[in-house]
Amino acid sequence: MASVLPAEIRPVLDNGVPLVLATCSADGEPNTTIISQAHYVDDEHVALSFQFFSKTIRNVRENPRACLCLNDILGRSYWLLDLEYERSETSGPIFEEMDMQIEAIASVTGMSGIFKLKAADIYRVLGVRKI
Amino acid sequence: MIPREIVDFLSRASVAVLSTRDAAHAPHIHFLSGWQVHDDLESVVCLVPASFTDRLAEGLAPAGRIAMVAEVIGPHETYQLKGRYLEHRAAGPADRPVFHACLRRFVSGVQDHLKGRYCEDDLAARVHEPAVALRFAVEEIFLQTPGPAAGRRVFPAGA
Asked if the model's pLDDT at residue B124 lies above 60, the reply is: yes
Q: What does the pLDDT read at residue A102? A: 82
What would the mean pLDDT of B75-104 be, rounded to a whole number? Answer: 96
Asked if the model's pLDDT at residue B159 lies above 60, the reply is: no
Residue of A nearest to B146 (CA): A114
Distance of CA B104 to the CA centre of its chain: 15
**Is B154 inside any structural domain?**
no
Q: What does the pLDDT read at residue B158? A: 65
What is the C-alpha to C-alpha distance for residues B18 and B32, in angstroms, rounded to an integer?
Answer: 7
pLDDT, averaged across chain B:
93
Cα dihedral value B34, B37, B43, B46, nearest 10: 0
For chain A, the domains span 7-130
Q: What count of CB pairs under 8 Å joins A to B?
A: 100
Q: DSSP for A66-109?
A: EEEEEEETTTTEEEEEEEEEEEEESSSHHHHHHHHHHHHHHHHT
| Residue ranges making up the domain that contains B83 | 4-146
pLDDT digits (tens, 9 = 90+) for A38-95: 999 999 999 998 887 689 999 999 999 999 999 999 999 999 999 999 999 999 999 9
Q: What does the pLDDT read at residue B62? A: 64
**Is B159 inside any structural domain?**
no
Q: What does the pLDDT read at residue A3? A: 82
Residue B80 forms contact with A (CB below 8 Å)? yes
pLDDT digits (tens, 9 = 90+) for B99-117: 999 999 999 999 999 888 8
Contact A67 B63 (CB under 8 A): no
Asked if the model's pLDDT at residue A104 lies above 70, the reply is: yes
**Is B156 inside any structural domain?**
no
**Is B140 inside any structural domain?**
yes
pLDDT digits (tens, 9 = 90+) for B34-55: 999 999 999 999 999 999 998 8
Q: What does the pLDDT read at residue A2? A: 63
pLDDT, averaged across chain A:
90
From chain A, the residues in CB contact with B21 under 8 A are 22, 24, 28, 30
What is the C-alpha to C-alpha distance for residues A95 and A79, in angstroms, rounded to an integer?
Answer: 24
Contact A29 B19 (CB under 8 A): no
Q: How far is A126 from chain B (nearest CA, A)?
A: 11
Closest partner residue to B122 (CB to CB) among A28, A29, A73 is: A73
pTM as predicted: 0.92
Residue of A nearest to B84 (CA): A29
Residue of A nearest to B18 (CA): A32
Q: What is the count of structural domains for chain B?
A: 1
HSE-up of residue B82 (Cα within 13 Å, Cβ side):
23
Residue A1 forms contact with B (CB below 8 Å)? no
**Is B94 inside any structural domain?**
yes
Which positions ≥6 away from A102 have C-beta within 8 Å?
A: A36, A37, A49, A51, A115, A116, A117
Q: What is the CATH number of the domain that holds B138?
A: 2.30.110.10
From chain B, the residues in CB contact with A67 under 8 A are 19, 26-29
What would the mean pLDDT of B132-146 be, rounded to a whole number? Answer: 95
Q: How far is A82 from chain B (nearest CA, A)?
A: 8
So what CATH class is A7-130? Answer: mainly beta
User: Would you call B36 helix, strand, or coil by DSSP?
Assistant: strand
Of A48-57, A104-113, A117-126, B149-158, which one has max mean pLDDT?
A: A117-126
Q: How far is A92 from chain B (nearest CA, A)?
A: 26
Task: Kindly provide the ipTM of the predicted complex, given to two decimals.
Answer: 0.93
Residue of A103 and A97 predicted with greater confidence: A97
Contact B21 A28 (CB under 8 A): yes
Q: How far is CA A59 from CA A64, B59, B134, B155, B156, in A?
A: 7, 17, 25, 21, 22
Q: What does the pLDDT read at residue A109? A: 67
To the nearest 5 percent, what fractions of chain A are helix, strand and coil? 25, 45, 35
> Taking chain A, what is the end-to-end CA distance rounded to the nearest angstrom?
12
